[in-house]
A = this chain, B = another copy of it.
C-alpha cells in the first residue's frame, strides 16, 4: 500500500485491508509536509520567527518536522504537553499559558533545566510562584506577559500591562523578555472573516503595547502573536517578531471556511464506517462525539459551518447530529451508501478531534503507520 491518499483516491478499502479499523484519524503525510513548508516560507518572507503550536498534532515527530523546516521552536499550552515534547527531542518550548500553582512552578523550573523554556504569566500571583521556584532552582526563568487583545479570556488588558510588567521584571529568578497574545480572527472586538484587517489590528495592538513597555523601562524583545487565520497578516506589522499558528499543520474545515486553505490541503481526516441506513435520507456512522470534537458547533458566526464535518465524495451530505458513538448524517435518497461503507470526513476542528484519539494513522510512501498521540490529554 504505497499509494499516497488524495481527495479522489478511494483508498479506504485497501487501507482497511491492512488491519486498521474505524473510526480512526488518518493523516496524509504529503499534505502535512506541504502545509509545514508553506507556513515556514510565509514566516521567512516576512522576517518573523515561526513557533508552531503543537496542540494541533500532539505528535513529537511532527514537531521535529516543523523545527527541521525552519521553526525556531514550538508552542505548547500546558507544561505536560511541553514535557512530552521535550522528551521527544524538542529543545525550545514556549508554554503560552499562564502557569499558576506552586507545583506547576516547580515543574516549570525543572523543565527549564532541560530545555530552553519560556512560560506565560498574566498575574502577580502566578509570577511570584514562578519566581520562587526559579530562585530555588538557581536559574533565570524566561517569561512572557500575556496581553488581552479582544478574546476576553486570559491576559492583562493593555492599559494594565506596564504596571504588571514592571513588577514582574523586578522579581528575582525571572527574566521578562516578551509579550504574547492570542485572539484568532477578531476585528473591533467581534469575529470576522476579514483576516488581513484582523491580523493587522492584532499586530498593531501588540507592537504598541511593546513600545509602551519599552518607554516605561521594561526591555521587551519578543512580540508573539497567533494564529492560523491571522498570523501571516499580523507578521506584516513592524514590531511583531514571532507567530504561533497551530492548525495550519493539518488545516481543517474551519480553516477552509476562513479561506485559509483549499479543501485538499486538509491533511487529517476521520474514517468511519456506515453502520446503519435506517431511512433513505439518513445514515449513521460509527463515530460520534468521542470521535469528532463538538467544540466547534454548526451555524455559529462568523463561519456558519453546516454540520460537524465535510464528507468527502458526498458534497450534499450534512453531518447533523452526534451522540457519543453515533454520527447521524442526512444524505440524499439517491445516494448509494450502505452499512459497511467507509466514509472519509474532514472534521470542523482537528485539534480537539485529535485529542480524542489514542493513536492516529500516518500515511506515506511506505504505507500507513500507527502513531500514538503522545501528548493526548496533556491538560495539566
Contact (Cβ within 8 A) A278 B379 = no
Contact (Cβ within 8 A) A100 B153 = no
Question: Pick the contact of A123 from B276, B326, B355, B376 — CB < 8 Å?
Answer: B276
CA distance A157 to B279 in the complex (A): 9
CA distance A322 to B151 in the complex (A): 11
Contact (Cβ within 8 A) B282 A152 = yes
Question: Pick the contact of A101 from B157, B340, B358 — CB < 8 Å?
Answer: B340
Which residues of A (86-111) have their CB < 8 Å from a CB of B?
Answer: 97-101, 103-104
Question: Pick the contact of A287 from B289, B297, B379 — CB < 8 Å?
Answer: B379
Given contacts A100-B273, A122-B278, contact A324 B351 (CB under 8 A): yes
Chain A binding surface, main DSSP class: loop
CA distance A228 to B126 in the complex (A): 42
Contact (Cβ within 8 A) A78 B356 = no
Given contacts A22-B380, A98-B276, A339-B126, contact A355 B103 (CB under 8 A): no
Contact (Cβ within 8 A) B339 A278 = no
Per-residue interface assignment for chain A, residues 138 to 154, with 1 indicating a CB less than 8 Å from any chain B CB and 0 otherwise: 00000000001000111
Judge whether A274 is part of the interface by a CB distance below 8 angstroms. yes
Contacts of A155 in B (CB 8 A): 276, 278
Per-residue interface assignment for chain A, residues 31 to 49, with 1 indicating a CB less than 8 Å from any chain B CB and 0 otherwise: 0000000000000000000
Closest Cβ of chain B to A274, distance in Å, is 7
Judge whether A10 is part of the interface by a CB distance below 8 angstroms. no
Contacts of A323 in B (CB 8 A): 153, 295
Judge whether A7 is part of the interface by a CB distance below 8 angstroms. no
Question: Pick the contact of A295 from B16, B101, B156, B294 — CB < 8 Å?
Answer: B294
With A21-B104, A152-B282 known, 7 other A-B pairs at CB within 8 A are A55-B325, A99-B275, A156-B278, A289-B293, A290-B355, A291-B379, A324-B351
For the complex of A and B, 8 pairs with smallest distance between CB atoms: A289-B295, A125-B339, A154-B276, A100-B275, A77-B325, A123-B339, A294-B295, A358-B377
